A and B are shown apart, each in its own frame.
Chain A
C-alpha cells in the first residue's frame, strides 16, 4: 500500500540544517576559502601562459623531454613496485594464516613514517663504497677496489624507484587490505565450491574486486612520487620536480618553472582522475556488510609459511628497520656535531610552523565542513572538492603558484605605500613564513577536511536541530555542541597534518625566508653537502615524529578487523 507513495517521493536524509535559506556568511566564507585553495594552481597556469615563450622553446629543445621521460620511468617503476609489494603482503595477511601474521598486519605500515628523502640518505650511507655493506664484501672476498667487483649504483633512477617503493607501498597495502577484508565471504566460498583453487580464486575473484581500491592506493603513492624532490635531487635523477627547481633556482627563471609546473599538472590531473574513477568503483565493489564474518583462511605451514614470513618481513626490514638502525647509529656517532643550538632552533621552527599550519588547517576544515552541513547543496560540495585538491599537487608546483601571486601582491602593496605614504612594506607575504603556512594548508587541507567531515557525519542531524530550537545560533551550536563531540577527530586531524608538515620538503625549501631552516631543509642541506652523519639526527627526529600517526593507525588495525577509508584523509 505504501510502496506507491514512497516510490513517488524519494527519501533522502537531511540536506541542510541552517534554517537560513540562501547565501550566508558561512557559505560565502567557504566559497572564498575554496577559491584561495585553488589560487596556486590557477596562478601557475596563468603565469606559464602569460610569460614569454623563449624559455619554453629552450626547455622543449633541451631538457624537457628528459624531465618527462625520467618522471615517467620513475612513476612506472614505483607503481609496479608498490603494486607488487602492497598487494602480495595485503593478500597474505588477510587470506592466509602463518606465524607472525597478526604482528605483520600492523608492522607493514611502519615504512609510512619515513620520508622518501630520508630513506635515500640512510641507504646511501649504508650501501655506498665506504659504507658497511661494501666494506664487508671487500673484507670477505679480499677485493681491493671498486673495479674488482660489481655493485649496483645506488644513486640512480633504479635506486630512486626501489627506495620510494619501499616507503610508499603502505598506501597500496592499506587499501588492498581493507578491500580484501570487505569482500563477501560468500562470493569467495562460491568460487571455491565451483572448483577454483586458492590461486584462481585470488586472480579471478579477489583481485578484480579489489582492483579499484588498489588503483586508488597506487595513484596516492604516485602523487607522492611526483611530489618528491629530496630523493631525486640527491640521486641526480632529473625528474620534472628536480627540473622545475633547477630552472627556477639554477637558471633564475620563475616563468620556466611555472611552465614545467603546468606540464606536471597534466600528470596530476591524470592521477586525480584515476583516483576519482576508482573510488567510485570502489563504492560499488566494496559494500561492507554490518555482520562480522571471519574470512576463510588458508593455513600455511612449513616452507610455505617460511615464504610468507619472508615476503612480509622484507618490506618491513628494508623499509623501516634497516634505515632506522643506520640513522640511529649515525645519530649516535655524530651526536656531538649534530646537537647544536642551531639544530634546536631548526627543530623549534619545524614544530612551531607545523603546529600553526595544523591548527589553521583544522579551523579552515571546520569552517568548510560545518558550512556544508548547514547548507548542503551542490555548490558547497564542489567547493569542498576543490578545497581538498591540494593533496595531489606537488609541493614544488604549489610553491611556484604561491610565490607568483604573493610576490605580485607584495610588489603592488609596496609600490602603493612608497608612492602615497613613503614607507616600504617589504616582502609582507612572499618573504615570510606566511607563504609556507599557506602552502602547507593548501596541500594538507584534504587530510583535515576528511577527518572533520567523517566525525561530523557521526553527529546526528537532530542534534543540530535540538541546539538551534534551544536558542543557539549556528556558530554557537558548533562551539558548544559539535566541537566537544568531535574532539577525537579534530585531534587526529591536527596530528596527521602536523606530521605531514614536518616531513614536507620541496615547498618549504622553495618558499622559506632567507636563512630560515626547518628540520627538513636542514637535513636536505647537510645531505646535499654529503654530510650524511650530521643529517642523521634531524632525519631520525622526523622519522620518530612521523611514527606517531602510524602507531595510531596500527593500533586501530590491531583492535578492529576493518580499517576503512584511506591513508590520505
Chain B
C-alpha cells in the first residue's frame, strides 16, 4: 500500500535516482488538514497521475510540488535537491517545473509565439526564436504563431499551454486537470496526443485529475487519493482489476457488490453461484465477504444459470449497459454488445465470468 515501496520494488535494482521524491508531506488548506503523510516517487521519463474526487487533496499536492504551497512535515526533492521542507521553500520560479492548467492560463494579451516565449526570458534572442519555432513546429502550431489565445480552439489553446510549459525545458511537467475544459471527443484525442508527445520526448510528468479516463490515458502509474492520502499506487490495469479497498473499487469503473461466504481458501459461495479466485484469499473459511462484480464480468448466455429481468438500459454505442434484477432481488450491472437489444421487462439469462476475484470482508462498504 505504501506507494514508495511498492513502486521501487517494480523497478530494476540499478540505482537510478528518482527525479521527484515526495517524502511524507502533510499540508493544510485554510487551516484544515488536506494532505496527510503522503509520499510518492517519480523516475525520469515517467508519467504518473494522481486521481481522486474533488477535495481529496490532489491539487494541494501538485501546488506543493510546484512551490505554491508550504509543507508542514516531510520534504520534496526535485533532481536530488530539496525544494520544500518545514523551513525550506524554494520559490516556484527557481524549481524548473512547467505547469499546465485546467483553464490553460494563456496570457490573453500575448500572441501564441509570445506566450510560448514567455518562459525563455533568460536565453538569447536567437535561441529564444529558435526554441519557439521548434515548439510551434512540434505542436503543429506554426500557422497560428501570430494569433491570440481567444482566436484559437480549445485543443489549440491546450497545445499552446503545453508548448509554453515545455519551452524552457523544465525538469518536471505538472498538469492540473489539463483536459477538463475540452469536450469529450477532443479530450480523448488530446489525452492520446499528449501522452505520445511526452513519451517521445522523455518528459517526466505528474498530472492530477478526477477523471479516470484521463488518468488511464496518460499515467504509467496512477495514485488514487482519498482524504489527503494515496490509497493505492498502481497501474491502471491493477486499479481496475485488483482494487485494494472498497474506495478504489467504487471510484474506478462501475459494478456491484455481491454478498457471499468463503467455502475454501480460494472459493466464494454467492446467491448467484460459486466463484473462485486465482490466489488464496486472506480470510478464514466461512467468513462473510463481499465480491465485486464488474459489468464486464456478467456474460449474456441463453444457457446461463442466472435468470434476471431488465429494469434499466443505457445505450453506449457499441455496448448497452443493462441494470438487471434477479429473481432473488439482486441487482447487477451488465455490459452487453449492442446487438443484444433487450427491452425493459425482458427476461435474460446470464452467467458470471470473474477472472480477477475482488473480495472484501463484509461491512467494509462505506455507507
Contact = CB atoms under 8 A, between A and B. Distances in A.
A15 B29 contact: yes
Interface string B63-78: 1001110100000000
A15 B63 CA distance: 12
A460 B68 contact: no
Interface in B134-192: 164-165, 168, 170, 174, 176
B56 A471 contact: no
Size bin of chain B's contact surface: 35 or more
A468 B92 contact: yes
Nearest to A18: B68
A562 to B, nearest CB: 24
Contacts of B70: 21
A9 B105 contact: no
Interface string A468-486: 1111110000001100110
Nearest to A480: B118
Given A4-B366, A6-B55, A19-B92, A465 B68 contact: yes
Interface string B215-239: 0000000000011100000000000
B55 A465 contact: no
Nearest to B91: A19
B49 to A, nearest CB: 18
Contacts of B57: 9
A10 B34 CA distance: 9
Interface centre among A4, A16, A462, A470 (most CB of B within 10 A): A470
A12 interface: yes
A6 B54 contact: yes
Interface in A17-53: 17-21
Contacts of A484: 109
B89 to A, nearest CB: 5
Contacts of B226: 5
A75 B30 CA distance: 43
Interface string B249-272: 011000000000000000000000
B168 A463 contact: no
A2 B252 CA distance: 12
Chain B interface, >50% SS class: loop
B296 interface: no
A471 B227 contact: no
A391 B118 CA distance: 40
B91 A469 contact: no
Contact of B250 (A1, A15, A460): A1
B102 A462 contact: yes
Contacts of A465: 63, 66, 68, 92, 99, 101, 105
Contacts of B107: 463, 466, 481, 485
B32 interface: yes
Given A2-B53, A5-B227, A465-B92, A460 B103 contact: yes
A340 interface: no
B164 A466 contact: yes
B10 interface: no
B243 interface: no
A199 interface: no
B164 A470 contact: yes
Contacts of A9: 29, 32, 34, 55-57, 227-228
B97 interface: yes
Interface string A67-111: 000000000000000000000000000000000000000000000
Contacts of B103: 460, 462
Interface in A484-511: 484-485
B58 to A, nearest CB: 11
A11 interface: yes
B93 interface: yes
A8 interface: yes
A466 B168 CA distance: 12
B98 interface: yes
Interface in B293-344: none
Contacts of B250: 1
B11 interface: no
B55 A11 contact: yes
Given A5-B226, A19-B67, A19-B92, A466 B105 contact: yes
A516 to B, nearest CB: 42
A524 to B, nearest CB: 45
Given A20-B91, A463-B107, A465-B92, A5 B68 contact: no
A264 B88 CA distance: 50
A84 to B, nearest CB: 45
A1 B251 contact: yes
A463 B105 contact: yes
B53 A6 contact: yes
A469 B92 contact: yes
A455 to B, nearest CB: 14
Given A465-B105, A469-B99, A473-B91, A17 B32 contact: no
Interface string B100-137: 01110101110000000011011000000000000000
A8 B30 CA distance: 13
Contact of A17 (B68, B93, B122): B68
A179 B250 CA distance: 46
Given A5-B227, A19-B89, A469 B66 contact: yes
A409 to B, nearest CB: 37
A468 B105 CA distance: 12
B120 to A, nearest CB: 9
A403 B226 CA distance: 60
Contact of A10 (B30, B63, B119): B30
Contacts of A19: 67-68, 89, 91-93
Nearest to A466: B105
A15 B60 CA distance: 11
16 contacts: A4-B366, A6-B55, A9-B34, A10-B55, A12-B30, A15-B30, A460-B101, A463-B107, A465-B105, A466-B105, A466-B107, A466-B165, A467-B118, A469-B66, A469-B98, A469-B99
Given A5-B227, A469-B98, 15 more contacts: A9-B56, A15-B30, A19-B92, A462-B101, A462-B103, A462-B105, A465-B101, A466-B164, A466-B165, A469-B93, A469-B97, A469-B170, A473-B91, A480-B118, A481-B107
Closest 10 CB pairs of A and B: A470-B119, A462-B101, A462-B105, A2-B53, A468-B92, A21-B70, A6-B55, A466-B105, A469-B99, A9-B55
Interface of A: 1-2, 4-6, 8-12, 15-21, 460, 462-463, 465-473, 480-481, 484-485
